[in-house]
Amino acid sequence: MGKTSYRITLIPGDGIGPEVIEATCRVLEATGVSFDWDVRHAGAAVAEREGTPLPDAVLDSIRANGVALKGPVTTPIGSGFRSVNVGIRKALDLYANVRPALALPGFPGAHPNVDLIVVRENTEGLYVGIEHEVIPDVAAEATRIITRRASERVVRYAFDYARRNGRHEVTAVHKANILKITDGLFLKVAREVAAAYPDIAYREMIIDAMCMQLVVQPEAYDVLVLTNLFGDIVSDLCAGLVGGLGVAPGANIGETLAVFEPVHGSAPDIAGKDIANPTATILTGALMLRHLGEREAAARVEAAVSAVAREGRITTADLRSSQPDARVVGTQAMADEIAQHLS
């Protein structure tokens, strides 16, 4: 029998997306795992050509393949089309956004023992896109939706993740002292779910205290579960603890579909220059390998990233200050070095 070839939807994205995706495919293919990339385009250029930044064909491809690897897609600020990233998560009901923050030796980070998993609710909260001007130029209003269903499944996902991955504790992060009704419901549901997992410890923390704790003693936390906007902000904070956006991977998980994408955006300021750090997307590729059941290949990719960082011979421009003796190389050269370090 021939080797399995995984058919994966590949969305290169905008800005630095195509560069970091190309670099990642190179590393993933070097593991020996076989891929059949189903390349689909989304974003600004597609919007000009097809009238929508997210054509149905992209969503259909993900539905058919079950798994996608995605580069960042630019979201216009203020006006223009709505976020493609949010659109994909909503259309495919990818309800949990999982962002690991693991301190690797060699990456800049004040806290060497950080090993956090941020689980962010991905479908509701302030991201429902219900906003309007109450009085033009004077007052505006946004709606925050919290439901029992979405809260329950994301908290359950956090506990199941903890169980599956040998983790010990889940912390529900909230602002129920002020948002008494919306976060009150989230917290009530979190407590109910926690009761069904007596083997996993459960804590609660108010979002502002959580931010301070994460800066002061991040190594004291394990799995965090948050509503959408708090999760967005806290996951960037956690990325900063372990080396920044250049090294932070992410995954969007639904009942049957999964879209893997780095935490960072399209970084138009550095696009097309071969200077973006591909590490975040390469580590995202490792998360995808693990999701596919290729645990050994996933561990090899993570070990190769770690080995290159630890050796400290080369670095990308974003991490130069933490590795002053390293030679600064471009996106593709960094990917080649990581591929060469695969065991």
Binding site for ligand ATP (CB under 6 A): 16, 20, 72, 74-75, 245-246, 264-270, 276-277, 280, 318
Residue 236 annotated to the active site: yes
Per-residue 3-state assignment (H helix, E strand, C coil) for the chain? CCCCEEEEEEECCCCCHHHHHHHHHHHHHHCCCEEEEEECCCCHHHHHHHCCCCCHHHHHHHHHHCEEEECCCCCCCCCCCCCHHHHHHHHCCCCEEEEEEECCCCCCCCCCCCEEEEEEECCCEHHHCCEEEEECCCEEEECCECCHHHHHHHHHHHHHHHHHCCCCEEEEEECCCCCCCHHHHHHHHHHHHHHCCCCCEEEEEEHHHHHHHHHHCHHHCCEEEECHHHHHHHHHHHHHHCCCHHHCCCEEECCCCEEECCCCCCCHHHCCCCCCCCHHHHHHHHHHHHHCCCHHHHHHHHHHHHHHHHHCCEECHHHHHHCCCCEECCHHHHHHHHHHCCC
Write down the least CB distance from residue 75 to ligand ATP, Å.
5
- The yes-or-no answer on residue 208 being catalytic is yes
Which residue number places its CB atom closest to ligand ATP? 265
**Residue 160 beta carbon to ligand ATP: minimum distance, rounded to whole angstroms:** 29
Question: Does residue 175 have an active-site annotation?
Answer: yes
Is the CB of 74 or the CB of 122 nearer to ligand ATP? 74
Catalytic annotation present for 199? no
Catalytic residue among 6, 127, 202, 221: 127
Q: Which residue out of 38, 160, 236, 336 is catalytically annotated? A: 236
- For residue 114, the minimal CB distance to ligand ATP (Å) is 19
Which of 6, 95, 175, 183 is the catalytic position? 175
Shortest Å, Cβ 154 to ligand ATP: 23
Give the residue with the Cβ less far from ligand ATP, 222 or 261: 261
Active site residue 221: no
- Residues that are catalytic: 127, 175, 208, 232, 236
